[in-house]
Amino acid sequence: GQSLEQPSEVTAVEGAIVQINCTYQTSGFYGLSWYQQHDGGAPTFLSYNALDGLEETGRFSSFLSRSDSYGYLLLQELQMKDSASYFCAVRDRGGGKLIFGQGTELSVKP
Amino acid sequence: DADVTQTPRNRITKTGKRIMLECSQTKGHDRMYWYRQDPGLGLRLIYYSFDVKDINKGEISDGYSVSRQAQAKFSLSLESAIPNQTALYFCATSDPGTGLNEQFFGPGTRLTVL
């Protein structure tokens, strides 16, 4: 089977850096993605890693280590608007299905 | 803007009723998905369709059915709703041209079954 694990909650202060980890077990691996969801709204795509290493997009970076079946999302210069749920997801070998983790609720405090 | 829309946005119904949730997209994507979200359980795949003639079950398809009426439309039906189908339902699309790891989600339908 396939499964992903990520912390259920993370709290940080405005301006700080926070890392959200994700470990996965899959029968085939076609990339690790990250999604953001505010207050039950539509999840939106943040980033994707197919190969080992760090991908940077503005204040957000995502890292992947395929040998460790592990990745993380790094959020820098936290802002109040970053308070949201963050989901990691792996793409199934079926060619397009995503399997999502249970989500990490990030609370940014002043 | 190309978009993914869902109707209705909110629905309250009674146990045993048949319910249809509709999804339309103007993105021109072939691949469409239905998910349900429950608190603490993330997004779970109900059904997915890679084109009009290709429909597949996801991890939690029992109690649900789907219809892909056209490339742009993918409907989810609950044949006889039960209270544990109370959840937030999302439709999503993807396309190989823009990367299969990026899915585009609709605004969701909040369904309550009494």
Mean pLDDT of successive 10-residue segments in chain A (110 residues)?
A: 90 97 88 94 94 94 95 97 96 78 96
Q: Do A96 and B41 touch (CB under 8 A)?
A: no
Interface of B to A at Cβ within 8 Å reads: 4, 31, 33, 37, 40-45, 48, 50, 56, 58, 88, 90, 94, 96, 99-108, 110
What string of H, E and C letters represents the secondary structure of A57-85?
A: ECCEEEEEECCCCEEEEEECCCCHHHCEE
What is the total residue count of chain B? 114
Nearest chain A residue to B110 by CA: give it. Answer: A40
Which of chain A's residues have a Cβ under 8 Å away from the Cβ of B109? none
For chain B, give the percent of residues with pLDDT over 90: 85
**Is 80 exceeded by the pLDDT of residue B66?**
yes
Q: Do A96 and B48 touch (CB under 8 A)?
A: yes
Taking one residue from A and the other from B, the number of pairs with CB-CB distance under 8 angstroms is 62
Q: What is the per-residue pLDDT for A109?
A: 96
Which of chain A's residues have a Cβ under 8 Å away from the Cβ of B105? 42-44
Which of chain B's residues have a Cβ under 8 Å away from the Cβ of A87? 42-43
Measure CB to CB from residue B43 to each of A50, A87, A91 and give the nearest one: A87
Q: Are B10 and B109 in contact (CB under 8 A)?
A: yes
Q: How far apart are CA B91 and CA B67, in angstroms?
A: 13
Which of the 8 DSSP states describes residue B88?
E
Under the banding of pLDDT at 50, 70 and 90, the label for residue B1 is low
Per-residue model confidence as pLDDT tens digits over B17-30 = 999 999 999 999 99
Q: What is the per-residue pLDDT for A82?
A: 97
By CB neighbour count within 10 A (0-12 exposed, 13-18 middle, 19+ buried), where does B14 fall? exposed
Q: Do A98 and B103 touch (CB under 8 A)?
A: yes
Q: Are A88 and A34 in contact (CB under 8 A)?
A: yes
Q: How far is A55 from chain B (nearest CA, A)?
A: 15
Q: What is the per-residue pLDDT for A71?
A: 97
